[in-house]
């Protein structure tokens, strides 16, 4: 399979069988068994908010349906919510939608103030192959926004706190380094002439007032960590797929160690 772009919906994308950065994160943080079951998880309110704000910001992505209820407690509201889901739409309460719309517009204005106009391609999927000891591994990603010929990727993260110290912790806890590495490798596969020249930016955006944004470019160490973790995930995925073996936390009794910070605290 050669690297290619796909014009598909988010739902179609998430149903595909290839290795993604989300699955790779689970491989690194939990186990192959958890990663195998990664697809098909029910959406959370935070995921719904992200999907809707992406649509409002980028003009592409998941479609939504505004439901005229104060909350989801009544049977009528729940029926409307479930009906929207059944039709492939993201249900959203009217009051929440108004807040998301205001936030998206404020974020868009701040991007323009920083010289960023979203005139590339939004919510576009790609597939490519990674080599492994067990043969080629089919991989996929979906760029939030990408300037293909410029070699620049912009990824939006909706977060309650976009302060630099906060997003550093969030990026590590949620393993954003894997995504940055995987997406960079995907674009390199699509545009080989740009190898070593591709840029990646995170736009950390606060959904509440003042809707502040923090544009951040990963440094070399961040990208190296991500690349190592991504490559480890590729090898693990390839081995598990080849042997159809999906272990969880080992087949023996594990040893429980105290974390380094606990020892340091006790010594001090």
**HEC letters along the chain:** CCCEEECCCHHHHHHCCCECHHHHHHHHHCCHHHHHCCCCCCCCHHHHHHHHHHHHHHCCCCCEEEECCCCCCCHHHHHHHHHHHHCCCEEEEHHHHHHHHHHHHHHHHHHHHCCCCCCCEEEEEEEEEECCCCCCEEEEEEEEEEECCCCEEEEEEECCCCCHHHHHHHHHHCCHHHHHHHHHHHHHHHCHHHCCCCEEEEEEECCCCCCCEEEECCCHHHHHHHHHHHHHHHHHHHHHHHHCCCCCCCCCCCCCCCCHHHHHHHHC
Q: With 80 as the cut, is the pLDDT of residue 268 above it?
A: no
User: What domains are there in the chain, each with its CATH number?
Assistant: 4-245 (3.90.320.10)
Kindly tell me the burial class for residue 128, based on how many C-beta atoms sit within 10 Å of its own C-beta (0-12, 13-18, 19 or more): buried
Structure confidence at residue 1 (pLDDT): 65
What is the Cα–Cα distance from 5 to 156, expressed in whole angstroms? Answer: 20
pTM recorded for the entire structure: 0.91
Nearest residue to 222 via CA among 255, 188, 180, 256 = 180
pLDDT in tens, 130-159: 999 999 999 999 999 999 999 999 999 999
pLDDT band at 192 (very low <50, low <70, confident <90, very high): very high
pLDDT in tens, 42-93: 778 888 999 999 999 999 988 999 999 999 999 999 999 999 999 999 999 9
Structure confidence at residue 61 (pLDDT): 87
Tell me the two tokens of residue 152.
Answer: 């620049």
Structure confidence at residue 221 (pLDDT): 97
What is the Cα–Cα distance from 190 to 112, expressed in whole angstroms? Answer: 27
Poorest-pLDDT segment among 43-52, 180-189, 218-227:
43-52
pLDDT band at 251 (very low <50, low <70, confident <90, very high): confident
226-257 burial, b if ≥16 CB within 10 A, otherwise e?
A: bbebbbebbbbbbebbeeeeeeeeeeeeeeee
């Amino acid at each position: 399979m050669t690297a290619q772009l796909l014009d598909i919906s988010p739902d179609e994308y998430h149903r595909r069988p290839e290795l993604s950065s989300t699955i790779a994160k689970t491989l690194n943080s939990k186990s192959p068994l958890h990663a195998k079951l990664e697809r098909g998880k029910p959406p959370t309110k935070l995921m719904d908010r992200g999907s809707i704000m992406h649509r409002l910001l980028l003009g592409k992505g998941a479609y939504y349906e505004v439901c005229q209820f104060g909350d989801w407690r009544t049977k009528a509201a729940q029926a409307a919510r479930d009906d929207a889901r059944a039709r492939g739409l993201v249900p959203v309460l009217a009051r929440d939608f108004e807040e998301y719309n205001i936030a998206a517009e404020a974020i868009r204005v701040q991007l323009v103030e920083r010289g960023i106009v979203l005139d590339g391609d939004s919510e576009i999927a790609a597939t490519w192959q990674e080599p492994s000891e067990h043969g080629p591994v089919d991989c996929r990603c979906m760029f939030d926004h990408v300037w293909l010929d410029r070699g620049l990727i912009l990824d939006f993260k909706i977060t309650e706190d976009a302060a630099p110290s906060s997003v550093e912790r969030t990026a590590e806890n949620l393993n954003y380094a894997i995504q940055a590495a995987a997406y960079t490798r995907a674009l390199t596969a699509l545009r080989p002439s740009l190898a070593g020249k591709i840029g990646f930016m995170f736009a950390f955006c606060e959904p509440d007032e003042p809707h502040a944004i923090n544009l951040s470019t990963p440094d070399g160490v961040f990208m190296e960590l991500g690349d190592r973790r991504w490559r480890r995930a590729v090898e693990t995925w390839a081995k598990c797929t080849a042997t159809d073996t999906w272990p969880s936390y080992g087949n023996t009794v594990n040893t429980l160690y105290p974390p380094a910070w606990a020892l340091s605290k006790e010594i001090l």
